[in-house]
Amino acid sequence: MLPRVAIIYPTYNGPDSHEDITRCFHTLEKMNYPFDRVEIICVENPSSHGASWPFIEKEWMPKAGTSFPKMTIVKHEKDLGYSGANNTGLHVAIEHGCDYIFLLNQDADVHPDFLIKAVERAEADKTIMLVQSFVALGQDKNKVNTIGNHITFLGHGYAFGNGWTNEQAQTYLNEERKQNPDLEIPFASGAALLVRVEMAKKIGLFDLPFYMYHEDVDASFNARMHGYKVVIEPSSIIYHYYAFSRSIKKFYWMERNRLLVQFSYFKLPTLLLMLIPGMVVECASLLFAFKGRWHKEKIRSLLFYLYPSTWVWVMKRRKRIQSERLISDRTFLKWMSSTIEFQSSGHEGEGAEGIKNDAEGFIMKRIANPGITLVWKCLYALIWW
């Protein structure tokens, strides 16, 4: 008998919500997984634009258990972000006896085999905690959104393979499998992610204060630090209607949480080695922020670390993580990249164009990234702990 799976589907009402939810649910109707082994858990954060759950309740709940999987709707009274919505979904899934949860973005739809292929991959290796799907672009299904996210040693994460053709991605994965048979990835995208519930119960899923962005980095790092695998399954396919930024305000969470992950996971000698290059990159980032008109969000992210309460929380997190870790920094850091790339989809929002120009410009390509690569090679050679 196949494992029980809960598909966690966080909803937040906005201009595109009706279209996104309808498109996604129509594809879930066609998935090749027994409906009696699947439950869809919709977790709604409140929005100033109204609510999505009345539409879901009216149009889709009558189908639940017949032409559509069983469905549960949870309505948050407070906006807990992506982290909080998925944590709530995990708790419901545990109560309902599910073996896995699958995190699915609101702005995505699915290939019929997405779930069965992800579950088969996890069932074949009990050391796997996280299985990311092959995420194609919904706007152009012949192109890639991510085949496993990459992250620099300074904490800048990006969707690897974004904009490649599917053929380019498959060629890369076939070559990668020769040296990396399990197709382990630096970190998994939370947009399409299978999670083993047993392991999530043991070490947790998302830390609530992350709210959004880098919560998937944190979950992936946490899994790896506990000796679990984070992999991609190319035959599990999701289509993500992806735009790098629909709001410049999200840059606050990206920058704030990027530093938080570093402070939490790296050992003190590693942090000291990264101090000078980190400060240089922070200064450059601040200059780019002014140029791209998102400097208020950048400054706000730095001010977050001036509060004593922040450091009480950070040090408590750090103490727990360092006491539980099972691998060395050297082993952990082998997954880090040394180049910063812009995750463009061609459908960008406010403020993103300036970042795109900076990331693809002469300074970044010809000076910054080569310099960062050289520095990282030297630093990594010194890390033996």
**Which is nearest to 188 in space by CA: 231, 127, 244?**
231
What's the residue count for the chain?
Answer: 385
Which tokens go with 298? 């950048």
**Which is nearest to 255 in space by CA: 154, 369, 376, 360?**
154
**Which is nearest to 4 in space by CA: 93, 65, 73?**
93
What pLDDT is stored for residue 280 in this prediction?
Answer: 87
What pLDDT is stored for residue 100 in this prediction?
Answer: 98
Q: Is the pLDDT of residue 354 over 70?
A: no
Q: Is the pLDDT of residue 57 over 70?
A: yes
Residue 215 is which amino acid?
A: E
Q: Is the pLDDT of residue 361 over 60?
A: no
Average pLDDT over residues 157-174: 94
Q: Is the pLDDT of residue 355 over 70?
A: no
The residue with tokens 């922040």 is 310
On average, the pLDDT of the chain sits at: 90
What pLDDT is stored for residue 28 in this prediction?
Answer: 97
Taking each helix axis as running N to C, give the angle between helix 215-225 and helix 308-324, from 0 to 180 degrees, rounded to the nearest 10: 30
Q: Give the CA angle between residues 31, 35, 37 to the nearest 5°.
A: 115
Average pLDDT over residues 339-357: 52
Pair 25, 52: CB distance under 8 Å: no
Q: Phi/psi of residue 145, each to 5°? A: -95, -55
Q: Taking the model in full, what pTM does it have? A: 0.91
Q: How confident is the model at residue 374 (pLDDT cuts 50, 70, 90)?
A: confident
* Max CA separation in the chain (angstroms): 61
Residue 136 is which amino acid?
A: A
Q: How confident is the model at residue 318 (pLDDT cuts 50, 70, 90)?
A: very high
Q: For 58-84, what is each residue's pLDDT tens digit?
A: 999 999 989 999 999 999 999 999 999
What pLDDT is stored for residue 383 in this prediction?
Answer: 94
Q: Determine what percent of the chain is predicted with pLDDT higher than 70.
A: 91
Strand partners for 39? 6, 70
Kindly list the structural domains of the chain, giving each domain's residue range(s) and its CATH number in brackets, ordered by start.
Answer: 5-240 (3.90.550.60), 250-382 (no CATH)
Rounded to whole angstroms, the Cα distance separating 25 from 36 reads 17
What pLDDT is stored for residue 142 in this prediction?
Answer: 94
Q: Determine what percent of the chain is predicted with pLDDT higher than 90.
A: 76
More confident of the two residues 21 and 369 = 21
What pLDDT is stored for residue 121 in this prediction?
Answer: 98
How far, in Å, are 1, 332, 342 from residue 375 at the CA level? 52, 18, 20
Q: How confident is the model at residue 150 (pLDDT cuts 50, 70, 90)?
A: very high
Q: How confident is the model at residue 351 (pLDDT cuts 50, 70, 90)?
A: very low
What pLDDT is stored for residue 345 in this prediction?
Answer: 46
Q: For 231-259, what is each residue's pLDDT tens digit?
A: 999 999 999 997 755 556 788 999 999 99
